[in-house]
Amino acid sequence: MKFFSDNTATACPEILAALSDVNRGRAKAYGDDEWTRRLDAVLGEHFGKEVRAFCVVTGTAANSLSIATLTPPYGAIFAHEEAHIVRDECGAPEFFSNGARIVLIPGADAKLTADSLTAAIENNPATVHTVQPTTVSLTQATEFGTAYRPDEIASVTEVARRHKLKVHMDGARFANALAFLGCAPADVTWRAGVDVLSFGATKNGALAAEAVVFFDLALVRDFELRRKRAGHLISKSRFVAAQLLSYVETGVWKRNAARANGYAQKIGAAAAEALIYPVEANEVFLRLGANGKQRLRAAGFEFYDWGSERSGEARVVVSWDQPEDEVLALCRELSRM
Amino acid sequence: MKFFSDNTATACPEILAALSDVNRGRAKAYGDDEWTRRLDAVLGEHFGKEVRAFCVVTGTAANSLSIATLTPPYGAIFAHEEAHIVRDECGAPEFFSNGARIVLIPGADAKLTADSLTAAIENNPATVHTVQPTTVSLTQATEFGTAYRPDEIASVTEVARRHKLKVHMDGARFANALAFLGCAPADVTWRAGVDVLSFGATKNGALAAEAVVFFDLALVRDFELRRKRAGHLISKSRFVAAQLLSYVETGVWKRNAARANGYAQKIGAAAAEALIYPVEANEVFLRLGANGKQRLRAAGFEFYDWGSERSGEARVVVSWDQPEDEVLALCRELSRM
Amino acid sequence: MKFFSDNTATACPEILAALSDVNRGRAKAYGDDEWTRRLDAVLGEHFGKEVRAFCVVTGTAANSLSIATLTPPYGAIFAHEEAHIVRDECGAPEFFSNGARIVLIPGADAKLTADSLTAAIENNPATVHTVQPTTVSLTQATEFGTAYRPDEIASVTEVARRHKLKVHMDGARFANALAFLGCAPADVTWRAGVDVLSFGATKNGALAAEAVVFFDLALVRDFELRRKRAGHLISKSRFVAAQLLSYVETGVWKRNAARANGYAQKIGAAAAEALIYPVEANEVFLRLGANGKQRLRAAGFEFYDWGSERSGEARVVVSWDQPEDEVLALCRELSRM
Amino acid sequence: MKFFSDNTATACPEILAALSDVNRGRAKAYGDDEWTRRLDAVLGEHFGKEVRAFCVVTGTAANSLSIATLTPPYGAIFAHEEAHIVRDECGAPEFFSNGARIVLIPGADAKLTADSLTAAIENNPATVHTVQPTTVSLTQATEFGTAYRPDEIASVTEVARRHKLKVHMDGARFANALAFLGCAPADVTWRAGVDVLSFGATKNGALAAEAVVFFDLALVRDFELRRKRAGHLISKSRFVAAQLLSYVETGVWKRNAARANGYAQKIGAAAAEALIYPVEANEVFLRLGANGKQRLRAAGFEFYDWGSERSGEARVVVSWDQPEDEVLALCRELSRM
């Protein structure tokens, strides 16, 4: 019973079917096909605004390519110290940006705030001797499974705007955040001041598909060249586009996220006193102690330690396709602890 | 009737079926799954030698990541002046290697020879003021649709070895070369002195799958870190591994390539006097004149100009799934010209 | 009366004279001259060990080139959060290393300790998803004007060695540290586990001259190529070598440093209660309050704020050529506050 | 008797004296001193136009930093195949630009022409799959010791302008070209369409000083940050600025260049039938045969082979300080051959 991560999941039937659907006839490569060409319109409608959307196949590529487009080599990228781009991408932002620096910001619930961003900017004054503040990266949902409210985002991006920083959002679990918040996609993106979004689908039911969605259209040519140069322009683009179209048009993005979130809530409720962070998306962080973790594992539940092995803390992630009986079994086990 | 490129093709049924087959249960991400773990053994058997094989999803990534592993930033990569890494990857080798230089070598049939490589090395002496010769990249089949014979490769790699250069092979159309040559995969790779191979499957029936195959095992940790850092470590790795396993294990690599090659031979035979290069893989290069090209296009055949629009030359690529009637129609049209 | 920094200083007469001395006859360029060739021997004797020494003209180049030689692009460099490479080099280490990351370590007196380094390494476990710990950079004297004792360095480098990290030392004010400690150059470098030293002379009397001194000789070819490639191989190398030879051979390194240190001690004594850090080299950090700073400035003393303008703190740096009357005047003014 | 290169030369007395002149008092570092601040005005007057001028200490840095400011990582830089940036800088343009590509153009006298540039641009069409033409780099005087006439430059830059390329000029031997042409500095730079000039002084009498002169002022902030980040912002900037001020204001740039050029003419006249290229600056290229070269060397003349050792060709470079008797002796020896 694997609760390691939502990228252990299968692909959902709607998306697998979409691959078969587009698998007919010769189609021009590199995005000049009918499906890829529809992406802008479909995601534009999803977000209620004209956008330019590009396919890639990993979140790391989506994040780093868009950050590189926003950031010169001597730029500083402000991000939470626990952000995925900091902890889990082997320095990809540095690679794609040709050596920009990520400035780490601490803060509760893995969130930036107007105050913490302001303090970080002030602590990194721009002279010819220093890296130049240019970029902010927010994660929605955060690495701690929490979701920024629209006004939380807006207050951060207002600081960014005042200091002429561009704003990137890592939305690897964007659907889970949205399912929790119940707001429109626009409310936590462009309306709240986001310039570019990594719009994730892989963790929530796709095989390998993420869109980079530009709300600020001026930057896209640079992005396109960087994407090609980085080997992330897929030749048979229709197979990635099909995943994203299906993900948005069938509404599976919402169904899958709601299902996973709902089970996470159940698990959180079963272990309310052990919760480290509020459960808002599909991740549950639990203070179980070494014995608790061992007992769970002995009962067949697999999950990652949170922090080190000795920490006594666990991260439980619910996939969109997590069998209900696994969730119920876990709840039973937790409620007994 | 699209003859633009073999990446206009669909995915073949065997490979699409493999995606469904592996779509069951939660599996650890990033390659720690039963399918990805089998790749080394399956490709090792294919090549008759212990190998380490890694999944990526584009040929550009396969080429550039492996070249970067072989080449320091101040290195020189020797390649034919018409190689894909030179003409069609937007500077990806330079990006991944952090600024190495590709030294261009001319030569018939888009091939390097022992002589042309020797001349290029001698024209680029290694002092502290120059980029340092470190790497050779061969393309099999070449950009002109020709195939290196085993002894042709060996004579180039012998020069490389004498000058302590590592050898990369771009095998985006490796299967087509092999189907033409009728030799063992080993004969044109490690036995002939190749250190790393970009083993392509996408053009020949996969959705998006290439393996980087290391015959020199010492280099793999560096490769793994570079791949992750470049956003090319796929989280749901089983879906890429499944394509490659199916490609090799079902023998579809050979069937698809043989089919496309066979049709290319037919087309070449129908236009024997217009041939620019010998037809050895699935590409046919034709000297048709502006009128000839116009006439073909008017008849519904789509293809790219070879060289500029004014060149009077055309490139016709046969996909694995090219309908036979399209091929026959093209042959008829060509034989009338 | 400028106490901004020791790089406001003039060049000392011994070194200026050396420039004239070597200004005779045609000499081969790029270091193949009699003066540059003597550097290894002269610095080898200074350090009591065979070394390879290379000229550059800025501390940033010395630091970043040597760090790049120790660090792959996916490497992590551990450094104090106030280190010059972090705060004052516009991301040079990231540029030269092609995107490595500096991991920031807090700590008293701008020093790393065995414990703080161990904690940082443990907080950055090496998996394929993370930057790989490879390098430590120490600053001697530190950015807070303190000097590591030999055993302090050894205890840090022992941790480094255990984790297979290489050790760089930024010695922009190496002479000042040594003049304070009264030990041999070897005691705080190779004998204490340092692999490469940025041996500064510019701040202490040269025009523009720093040596990169390798105690680990295996790495030098890579360094030489990186130096050339970065535009830091000076063609008329004798003029940089002459500065370094004079600096070491005349003993001016010690005289200049001792003079500046002595005055810093005087200033520190005159404002003992305002001291933020112990005075060990040629820098004095003072808690003066906004009024105090204003009063000093009104009296003609120029210096930088420490922290922000509002901090109430000041940094006073004594140059090797600081006129004694300026120092005495400052002492008088401070003792009245 | 060394005729290896003009960077074997000494520093000229005027420039050495200037170092002593500025060696008084504490001055703010990093260019915020009275001498560095005068550079814009002095070079602006020299060029008859408002400019921004920056000090660096090597030609490689001057070239690569300015090229990097003009060129995105996916850019293509058009240059003659024998240009210094191609043959002698260990890939510095690739390093500073984070992986741009130099596209090599052949041509007589090491010159680009409107036709050869046009052909190169047409052979490198800009699609998302290719490096993007962005930059041209001209060398004045060229690597073959020839000088572009104003109209030759203008015809190249007109092609550049039409294709929206920026134009860099490598002026490591700019003074020698100017002394030969007898025109105003403006005539071969901004008036002829050059955007940025590497204005060399080192080879012609300085110790280590080059100015990067921007005629297009929009680009300078990017340059300043790149310069710092590359370790090329000299702390005691006055010592570099002083060299450049003296070089321009005393007229020594012209005297030194005229002297060296004059001797080169003498040598060329003495070996008129052996000349490979016309003698226009301070370099003489001679077809002497293996025996001829051996005989010259036996007579005490030192110089580099041109091409390989076996080529039978020699490069003779006259330094600004070449003793007249060495030149006359060489002429005698050559006239006897």
Q: Which residues of C touch B74 (CB under 8 A)?
A: 225-226, 229
Judged against a pLDDT cut of 90, whether residue A308 lies above it is answered with no
A98 touches chain D (CB under 8 A): yes
Encode C313-327: b = buried (16+ Cβ within 10 Å), e = exposed.
bbbbbbbbbbeeebb
pLDDT in 10s for each residue of chain C, 337 residues: 999 999 999 999 999 999 999 999 999 999 999 999 999 999 999 999 999 999 999 999 999 999 999 999 999 999 999 999 999 999 999 999 999 999 999 999 999 999 999 999 999 999 999 999 999 999 999 999 999 999 999 999 999 999 999 999 999 999 999 999 999 999 999 999 999 999 999 999 999 999 999 999 998 999 999 999 999 999 999 999 999 999 999 999 999 999 999 999 999 999 999 999 999 999 999 999 999 999 999 999 999 999 877 889 999 999 999 999 999 999 999 998 8
What would the mean pLDDT of B220-233 be, rounded to a whole number?
97
Task: Please state, in angstroms and rounded to a whole number, the distance separating the CA atoms of residues A179 and A202.
Answer: 16
Q: What are phi and psi of C161, to 5 degrees?
A: -60, -45
C-alpha dihedral (A39, A44, A47, A51), degrees to nearest 10: 100
Query: Is there a contact between B87 and D130 if contact means CB atoms under 8 Å apart?
Result: yes
Q: Which residues of C touch D90 (CB under 8 A)?
A: 225, 228-229
Give the mutation candidate from C4, C77, C82, C90 for the A interface (greatest A CB count, under 10 A): C90
Kindly tell me the sign of the dihedral angle through the C-alpha atoms of B91, B97, B98, B102: negative
Task: Please state, in angstroms and rounded to a whole number, the distance separating the CA atoms of residues B103 and B51.
Answer: 29
Kindly tell me the sign of the dihedral angle through the C-alpha atoms of B88, B92, B94, B95: positive
Smallest Cβ distance to A90: which of C90, C102, C129? C129
> Taking a contact as any Cβ pair under 8 Å apart, which residues of chain A between 233 and 252 contact chain D?
233
Residue D36: which H helix or E strand, with range? helix D34-47
Cα-based distances in Å from C94 to C73, C81, D202: 8, 15, 29
**Per-residue confidence (pLDDT) for residue A307, from 0 to 100:** 84
What would the mean pLDDT of A104-114 be, rounded to a whole number?
97
**Per-residue confidence (pLDDT) for residue A331, from 0 to 100:** 97
Judged against a pLDDT cut of 90, whether residue B174 lies above it is answered with yes
A4 touches chain C (CB under 8 A): no
How high does pLDDT run on average in chain B?
Answer: 97
Residue of chain C minimizing CA distance to D318: C26
C102 touches chain A (CB under 8 A): yes
Strand partners for C210: C56, C200
Structure confidence by residue, pLDDT tens digits, D180-209: 999 999 999 999 999 999 999 999 999 999
Cα-based distances in Å from D176 to B15, D46, D171, D277: 67, 16, 9, 16
Contacts of C84-87 spanning 24+ positions with Cβ under 8 A = C84/C59, C84/C139, C84/C143, C84/C170, C84/C172, C85/C137, C85/C170, C87/A129, C87/A130, C87/C143
Collapse the DSSP code of C193 into the 3-class scheme (helix H, G, I; strand E, B; otherwise coil) and give the result: coil
Task: Please state, in angstroms and rounded to a whole number, the distance separating the CA atoms of residues D93 and D75.
Answer: 11
The 10 Å Cβ neighbour count of residue A248 is: 23
Whether this prediction's pTM lies above 0.95 is answered by yes
pLDDT band for A311, please (50, 70, 90 cuts).
Answer: confident
Task: Please state, in angstroms and rounded to a whole number, the distance separating the CA atoms of residues C134 and C76.
Answer: 6
Q: Which residues of B touch C222 (CB under 8 A)?
A: 72
Query: Is there a contact between B99 and D99 if contact means CB atoms under 8 Å apart?
Result: yes
Task: Please state, in angstroms and rounded to a whole number, the distance separating the CA atoms of residues B244 and A30.
Answer: 21
Q: Where are the alpha helices (DSSP H) in B148-251?
A: 150-162, 174-181, 220-229, 238-249
Task: Please state, in angstroms and rounded to a whole number, the distance separating the CA atoms of residues A52 and D205.
Answer: 55
Q: Which residues of C touch B128 (CB under 8 A)?
A: 30, 224-225, 228, 233
Judged against a pLDDT cut of 90, whether residue B85 lies above it is answered with yes
One-letter identity of residue C45? E
